Amino acid sequence: MKAFRLFYISLLISFLGTLPMGTLNTAVLQISISDGIQAALYFSTGALLVEVFMVRMSLIAMKWIFGHKVLLRTLEWLPIIIILCLAAGNIFAAIQPNNHKNIILSHTIHHFWLGVGMSFVNPMQIPFWFGWSKVLLDRGILGHQPSDRYVYITGIGLGTFLGNAVFIWGGRLLVEKLNADQHVLNWVIGGIFAITAMIQIIKMIRHDDPISKMEDNINPK
């Protein structure tokens, strides 16, 4: 019963945490539209495997992570830079008469490894799961036994996959139902990337970002 509760809660947190627009889920949406469901699934699988690995490492190295907040603060700008590059890639594709694909996401690299790479340089997963792990540990939902941690990361992996599935099949449904021109979609998704970057910057300025929340969880006022 306790294991099921942990699995359900971790799945729900991961699923809901995947839904707000960010670097990876917007990239999944873009790939689904431009390269198809299979490519998006490869990308999603690579990204979620890295996320699960990071969660596992964060459980082992909590003290080290909290002792390197300055490094995380610096790396916090990395996904914003990536989002802006993706926005530029979409806008470039939109203004090219014979090109319909984002030159970054539709590169020759396999989409699985693209997902691995983009997830690896997205450090915001660390403070997000650091904070939630501490909350669940404090409330006794997540224990220190190895079995608990396997259940925890399994729930996280499945929740992330289900969240990405919303964007994968949602992207295809958007194309099929609206029958939209690819250039128009490139403008729309480029705008989504740009707005996502602005939201992330505003959150950092307002200290509503994952790192600030991690600090609040550890040093409550």
The domains of the chain are located at 2-218
Read off the pLDDT band of 64 (50, 70, 90). Answer: low
Query: How far is 115 from 172, CA to CA, in rounded Å?
Result: 19
Residue 218 pLDDT exceeds 50: no
State pLDDT tens for residues 82-100: 778 777 877 777 677 665 6
DSSP H or E segment with residue 160: helix 146-178
Q: What is the pLDDT of residue 69?
A: 61
For the whole model, what pTM was predicted?
A: 0.74
Taking only the tens place, the pLDDT of each residue in 46-63 is 999 998 888 887 777 665
Side-chain-side CA neighbours of 201 within 13 Å: the count stands at: 11
Give the pLDDT band of residue 13 (cuts 50, 70, 90).
very high
